[in-house]
Amino acid sequence: MANRTASRTSGGVAETIKTLVYAVVIALFVRTFFYEPFSIPSASMVPTLLIGDYLFVSKFSYGYSRYSLPFGLPLIPGPGRVFYRPPQRGDVVVFKQPRDPTVDFIKRIVGLPGDRLQMREGVLTINDVPVKLQQGPDYYYGEIYRGDSGCRPGNYPEFLETLPGGREHPIIKNCGIPQFDNTQVFTVPPDHFFMMGDNRDDSADSRDPSSGVGYVPSENLVGRAEFIFYSTDGYAAWWEPWKWPFTVRYDRLLMAIR
C-alpha cells in the first residue's frame, strides 16, 4: 500500500514538473517568435505611450535577427535578418540601442534609408518638406514626476503630425527642454532608420548625439508595438493591493498603438 502511494506521489510530482517544463518552453517559443511583453519606463513617447503602460510587441513583423532570441544568442546569421519585411514610416518599434544592445528603446520610425531629416524651429523636415502639424487642445500630463524626466504635471501643446505617406500621430511639445528644435541635417544610411519620440522635448533619440541611438540598423529592431494589455498610473505601491484597482487606466486596456 505504501509503495503504491509513494508511486502515485512520485508520478504526480513528475507530471507537475513535466507540465511546468512544457509551459516554460511554450512561453519562450511565443515570446521569441510571436509576441513579447514590454513596459514603458519613461515619458519619451507621451501622449502615445505613458509610464506604466504594458504592451505586446509583435516579433514577426520585421522578420528575425539575433536580437529576437533570448539574451541575443548569435544563432541567426548576421548582421541582418531572416524573413525580413522592412518597417513602415510611422511604426512604433522596440529596438536595441546600437551603443549598448542590452538596453531596449521604444520610439517611432520617422526616417527611412536615404531620407534627409532636420528639425527647423521645432518642425520635423523630411527631404526638405516640413511635415504637416495641426494644433489641437492642450494635452494634460498628470503623471508622477520623476527627477530624470523634464515633464512635470501640467498642460502642454499637442499637435497631430502627418508623416509622408499619410500616417498621423499625436506629439506634444515643451514637456522638457527644447534643445533639439533646430538640428543639423541627418542623412539616413542604407539599412538604417531614424527614430524619434512623440514627446519631442523629452526624448533621447536619433537627434541626440549623446543618446547612443543614432541611426538604428535593421538588425537591432526587436518588433512592432501592437497594443496595450495593461496600464497603471503608479500611485499605489506593491504593498498596497487594496489600491491597485483604482490605479488601473481602464480606458487604455487593449488599446491599439498607432
The string of DSSP codes covering 176-236 is S--TTSS---EEPPTTEEEEE-SBTTS--STT-TTSS-SEEEGGGEEEEEEEEEEEB-S-S
Choice among 82-86, 143-147, 193-197 with the minimum mean pLDDT:
143-147
We report the CATH number of the domain holding residue 202 as 2.10.109.10
CA of residue 13 relative to chain centroid, distance: 40
pLDDT of 251 > 90? The answer is: yes
In a domain, 19, yes or no: no
Percent of the chain beyond pLDDT 90?
A: 68
- ∠ CA 120-186-66, rounded to 5°: 130
In a domain, 234, yes or no: yes
pLDDT of 178 > 90? The answer is: no
In a domain, 210, yes or no: yes
Query: pLDDT confidence of 224, banded at 50, 70, 90?
Result: very high
Give 229-241 pLDDT, tens digit per residue: 999 988 888 899 9
> Could you say which of 65, 107, 173, 231 is catalytic?
107
pLDDT of 110 > 60? The answer is: yes
96 flagged as catalytic = no
In a domain, 27, yes or no: no
Give 125-174 pLDDT, tens digit per residue: 999 999 999 999 999 988 765 555 667 888 999 999 999 999 999 999 99
Residue 86: all three cell numbers together: 522592412
Q: Which domain holds residue 95?
A: 34-256
Beta bridge partners of 171: 159
> Could you say which of 42, 44, 65, 203 is catalytic?
44
Q: What is the mean pLDDT of residues 222-233?
A: 96
CB 257 within 8 A of CB 228: yes
Sorted by sequence, the CB contacts under 8 Å of residue 76 that are 6+ apart come out as: 64, 65, 66, 68, 69, 82
In this structure, the number of other CB atoms found within 10 A of the CB of residue 164 comes to 15
Rounded distance between C-alpha atoms, residue 136 and residue 158, angstroms: 6
Q: What is the mean pLDDT of residues 92-115?
A: 97
Residue 132: all three cell numbers together: 504637416
In a domain, 51, yes or no: yes
Q: What is the mean pLDDT of residues 174-188?
A: 92
Domains in the chain, number: 1
Percent of the chain beyond pLDDT 70?
A: 88
Rounded distance between C-alpha atoms, residue 122 and residue 214, angstroms: 19
87 cis-preceded (ω within 30 degrees of 0): no
Q: What is the pLDDT of residue 3?
A: 57
Rounded distance between C-alpha atoms, residue 59 and residue 95, angstroms: 11
In a domain, 26, yes or no: no
CB 114 within 8 A of CB 190: yes
Residue 22: all three cell numbers together: 512544457
In a domain, 78, yes or no: yes
Mean pLDDT of the chain: 89
Q: What is the pLDDT of residue 23?
A: 76
Give 26-73 pLDDT, tens digit per residue: 767 667 778 999 999 989 999 999 999 999 999 999 999 988 877 666
58 flagged as catalytic = no
Q: What is the pLDDT of residue 151?
A: 78
In a domain, 94, yes or no: yes
